[in-house]
Structures are given as structure tokens and as C-alpha cells.
Structure 1
Amino acid sequence: MKAQEIAWSNHDIEGYMQGYWKNDSLKFYGSSGLTYGWNKTLSNYKRGYPTKDYSGTLKFKVNDISKINSGSYFVMGEYHLTRKVGDANGIFMIIFRKIKGSWKIIADTSA
């Protein structure tokens, strides 16, 4: 998640997305509803945060990490964006799964 903060804060959306499972089964649930797939999620991020003024500087605050099973965890927390177009804050719950030796987000609910 630290690497994602750095990538996002550099307006490197593709770099930020490296924390997600690059698969059509990735699930993202936000204010626009449910999105399936890595490419669609990337496209939505690029549309919603077209410039550095919109992406700003990202900070995560993790409030809870709970084990689902030996290869999966859910993480609940907050995100804070400091931006020229106005700050944005919210909450998230993400599910991490260990895939091919790397921890990847397989589902993300953000509001």
C-alpha cells in the first residue's frame, strides 16, 4: 500500500494499479456501482483523476487487518487526498490474496 501511495501521489495511475490483481475478475465497488476487471478499473481511475490536480497526494490510514484464511486478508481503513481541486476523504475495505507469491487486491470497496 505504501508503493500505491507513492505511485498515486506521482500521478502514476498505472503504477498504483500494480497493487491490484490484473484479471477480469477483479471487483471494484464504489459510488458508480460495481466494476469488474483490471482494465475497466484503470480506465475509471484515469477518467476520474485526469491530472495531478485531481489525483493529488494520497495517504492511507489502516484501521483493521483481519485474516480470512492463510492466503487472504481484508483491510479496512481511510484514504485522504490532498488536492488543488479540493481535498477528498473516504473509507475503504479491500481484500488481499496471495497470488503467485505476491499480495494483490482482488476486491475493493471505496466510498
Structure 2
Amino acid sequence: MRILMSFLLAFFLIQHTWAQSADEQAIRKILSDQTIAWNNGNIEEFMKGYWNNDSLMFIGKSGVTYGYQNTLMNYKKNYGNADAMGTLSFDLVKVQRLSPEYYFIVGKWHLKRKIGDVGGHYNLIFRKINDTWVIVADHSS
């Protein structure tokens, strides 16, 4: 009986670790897909990583913006052409599972541009909604 209990415990721990790993891999893929979309000049595709909802929160240099559509419009206004968009790269600093439904991400962003490079840090809150990970809050500076 003791061997069976040890086996079951090990099995569930492995399954739990694998599930966390699969979730983290999904989040990393979203960030990778966003980078590719940005570098292809496709802001709409880049936005697919965000929660398409009026409660999406984006905090940037201009303050707090709520809503998917408002965030999209701000991206288009501030990065309206290839020179402004440049080439995006992300450097993940921390990927932390907060619960089965939430992840907290800290990273650095950098835009290499002809008009002058820019960069900073960001933190993201990812939430699993309808079995899909999406960014529900973004604080980029």
C-alpha cells in the first residue's frame, strides 16, 4: 500500500509540474508570437495576446487606458509606421505562476529603430479565460 501511495503521489506531482510547464510554454509562445507580429508590422496580430474586453488595463507613460479597442488605437497612434515600430525584442526576467488562473510576468522590452532606440520594463498579468491565456493587465514603462 505504501508503494502504491508513493507512486500515486509522484504521478500527481509530475502531472502538476507538467501542467504548469504547459501553461508557461503557452504564455511564452504568446509573447513570441507578439514579437513576430510586431516585427512584421502587424499591430492587430500583436494585439491577439491581449484580452479582447473593455476591462483590459494598459498602463503606460500617458497613464491608464482601459479596453482592448482603446489600447489598439493607442498602439496605432504611437507606432503608426515601420520607423516608429522598429524591431521589438523581449527579455523575460520573471515568469511566476500565481494560481492555476493567473501568471505574473516581468521583463524588458527594446525597440531598435532608425529614429532612435527605446526600451524599458514591463509587467504583465496573464489570466486563463475560456482555456486560453490572455494579457489582462500590462504596465509598460
Q: TM class by shorter-chain length?
A: over 0.9
Higher RCO by CA contacts (8 Å cutoff, separation 6 or greater):
1
1, 7, 17: which one aligns with 2:47: 17
Q: What SS is found at the alignment partner of 2:97? A: strand
Per-residue CA deviations over 1:54-92 (Å, capped at 9, x if unaligned) read 001111000001122111001000001111111111000
1:46-65 → structure 2 map (5 Å cutoff): 46-65=76-95
- Alignment gaps of 5+ in structure 1: none
Task: Count residues with an aligned counterpart.
Answer: 111
* Separation (CA, whole Å) in 2 of partners of 1:101 and 1:57: 31
RMSD value, Cα: 0.6
* Separation (CA, whole Å) in 2 of partners of 1:51 and 1:85: 11
19, 37, 45: which one aligns with 2:75: 45
Q: Is structure 2 residue 104 aligned with structure 1 residue 87?
A: no
Q: What SS is found at the alignment partner of 1:86? A: coil
Q: What SS is found at the alignment partner of 1:85? A: coil
Structure 1 residue 100 displacement after superposition = 1.3
Structure that is richer in helix per residue: 2
Structure 1 residue 99 displacement after superposition = 1.1
Counting aligned pairs with the same residue, the percent is 48
43, 59, 68: which one aligns with 2:98: 68
Structure 1 residue 5 displacement after superposition = 0.1
The two structures have a TM-score, normalised by structure 1, of 0.98
Whichever residue aligns with residue 40 of structure 2, its letter is N
Structure 1 residue 101 displacement after superposition = 1.6
Structure 1 runs of 4+ with >6 Å offset: none
